[in-house]
Amino acid sequence: MNLKESFVYKNASLILPRILLVLSLYIIYCIIRDIRETVVLSANSAGAEVIPFLKFWAMLPSAIIITGLFTRLSRRFNSEKATYIIMGSFLAYFFCFAFFIFPNLEAWCFLDLSERMMNYLPSGFAGMVNMICNWPISVFYVLSGLWATIVVALLFWGIINQVSTPEHASSSYGILKIGGTLSASVAGVLATLLRQDTFTELLPFGKTAWEQTLMKETLFVMLLGCLSFYLFRMIYNSANAAVDANGGNKKNLEFSLRKSIRYILQSRYLTCMAILVFGFTFIYDLSDVLWKAQIRKAFDNPNEIMGYLNKITFILGLISLAATIISPWIISRFGWKTLAIITPITILVSSAGFFIFLLWEGSLNTYSMHLFGMSALSFSVFLGALQSCLGRAAKYSVFDVSKEIAFTPLDLELRWNGKAAIDGLGNDVARVGAASVHQVAIIFFGSIFFSAPFIAALIIGYLLVWLGAVNYIGEQYNKMTGRVDLEVTEEAC
């Protein structure tokens, strides 16, 4: 097809704002995410032990509350004004945290209360206590995490799905996905350029190099936020025009959550699909907290933590982009089972190396220095980063595609109800499950490091269940499709 005859070329004025907006929103998320991890890990009375408590007691309830608030605002005003209010509130707190709260953090936190509470509570409750007493950091962690859930998934994709026809979706969603993947590398480079390694008096803000880094990156986030407001306005204008042109006709799809869950429980095939979707987020969240705890041990300076996370973000973007590009080739060459087994095998191999050097750090230190030129602690941090990058890259490419293909042989009702519940609940339930496991383990064992053997055994056990589920789905998929080798249809991709 001639470039000038393509849908993307003809509708560049519609698609370009969407590409710029998805880039802006994802770059903001990547920068803010690295800031939140640095703030939590470098805080004197916080640390990685706080993360499971934040995800269980703060993230999920806040997501429900903000989603409900958006619905109420949309009814009272409209979805466009509700978008501006919600996103503006996020950005306002980010700005206030960087310029007013963080420079005076001790005055905002209840540090005396934290010390008094820990005099009466077991050491395993330190994460819960620090989450409450360091509430400004907790609020920043929650809002930065919800940027992807609320602003990107709900606000951005909500309006994109509203204004997109099937022709729009098939022609432009792939470009938007690549743009979102590319944003991680762009954010990593930009954050590295904005990082202030040494304190400079030329800047009119900040008392330390880390404060200046935080404020510079926050100002850049504010600039991208202003650009995002403008791009949202352009898209909403096109949405209003589309509604007028279509005469307000719109078909809404509805499903019963209870009925969908019943479908999953009654179908072994869908139960195995739920095991796959639940498994990735569950395992990733379990190992991620331990990796973050190792990062805190390896780096003392917040700027060093920030610099390291920026590099990881950049590398993750490159690997994810490469995996996204080559995934069609992988699909066309191998059967479904081979395609689906790549993700758990990748996680299993990378997790094994990470946990070996985590659990036997002292015994392997000399061996690690001799072979790799770094301490066992540094090498475990490297293996944790490798596990994170490879796992997420596999998830964004072969895992997501194999999951969608596995739904295609099912009848329409079973496919719709099963997919709605699995995709709608799987990740959230997995996050809550992982956070619950970590909380119980930390309280029972006394610290996150003492709980590491239990977490490692749980991850390996679940990976074996995951591989069993892949094997069952693969056999059933071949029976339903009547072939062993995967023939990729345009619909599946």
Give, in order, the Cα–Cα distances in Å from 74 to each of 67, 85, 160, 233, 242.
Answer: 11, 10, 16, 16, 19
Q: What one-letter code names the amino acid at 445?
A: F
CB atoms within 10 A of CB 68: 10
Predicted pLDDT of residue 253: 42
Angle at 413 between CA 408 and CA 414, to 5 degrees: 60
Q: What one-letter code names the amino acid at 187?
A: A
Report the length, in residues, of the chain: 493
Nearest to 466 by CA among 258, 284, 239, 249: 284
Predicted pLDDT of residue 126: 82
- The answer to whether 2 and 219 are in contact (CB under 8 A) is no
Backbone angles phi, psi at 448, to 5 degrees: -70, -30
Task: Taking each helix axis as running N to C, give the angle between helix 79-96 and helix 135-146, from 0 to 180 degrees, rounded to the nearest 10.
Answer: 140
CA distance 345 to 398: 12
Predicted pLDDT of residue 325: 74
> DSSP 3-state assignment of 145?
helix
What does 216-247 look like in DSSP terms, one character per residue?
HHHHHHHHHHHHHHHHHHHHHHHHHHHHHHHT
> DSSP 3-state assignment of 407?
helix
CA distance 159 to 142: 23
User: How many CA atoms, within 13 angstroms, populate the side-chain half-sphere of residue 293?
Assistant: 24
- In tens digits, the chain (493 residues) has pLDDT values of 454 555 455 566 678 888 899 899 999 999 999 999 899 988 766 677 888 888 888 887 888 788 788 878 888 888 889 899 999 999 999 999 999 999 998 889 887 888 888 888 887 788 888 888 889 999 999 999 889 878 887 788 777 766 665 455 545 666 776 777 788 888 999 999 999 889 998 888 999 999 999 999 999 999 999 999 999 998 888 766 555 555 544 444 444 556 667 778 888 888 998 899 888 889 999 999 999 989 988 888 888 889 888 888 888 888 877 777 776 666 667 667 877 888 899 889 888 989 999 999 888 888 889 888 888 999 999 999 988 888 877 776 678 777 877 877 877 677 766 776 676 567 778 888 999 999 889 888 888 888 999 999 999 999 999 999 999 998 888 888 775 444 444 343 3
Q: What one-letter code names the amino acid at 201?
A: E
Backbone angles phi, psi at 252, to 5 degrees: -100, 135
Q: What one-letter code names the amino acid at 136?
A: P
User: H or E element: which one contains 108?
Assistant: helix 105-108
- The answer to whether 390 and 457 are in contact (CB under 8 A) is no
Angle at 61 between CA 78 and CA 161, to 5 degrees: 40
- List all residues 6 or more positions away from 394 whose beta carbon is below 8 Å from its beta carbon: 323, 342, 343, 346, 347
Put residue 375 in one of left, alpha, beta given phi > 0 → left and psi -120 to 50 → alpha.
beta
Tokens for 397, please give them.
């490419």
- How far out from the chain centre does Cα 215 lie? 24
Predicted pLDDT of residue 242: 54
CA distance 82 to 90: 13
CB atoms within 10 A of CB 100: 11
CB atoms within 10 A of CB 312: 20
Angle at 319 between CA 317 and CA 320, to 5 degrees: 65
**Residue 43 DSSP symbol:** S
CB atoms within 10 A of CB 34: 24
- The answer to whether 184 and 316 are in contact (CB under 8 A) is yes
> DSSP 3-state assignment of 488?
coil
Sorted by where each starts, the structural domains of the chain and their CATH numbers stand as: 13-242 (1.20.1250), 255-493 (1.20.1250.20)
Task: Taking each helix axis as running N to C, give the angle between helix 135-146 and helix 12-42, from 0 to 180 degrees, rounded to the nearest 10.
Answer: 150
Tokens for 343, please give them.
């993700």
Nearest to 466 by CA among 279, 268, 266, 264: 279
Predicted pLDDT of residue 227: 96
Backbone angles phi, psi at 269, to 5 degrees: -60, -50
CA distance 252 to 347: 38
Nearest to 152 by CA among 61, 23, 51: 23
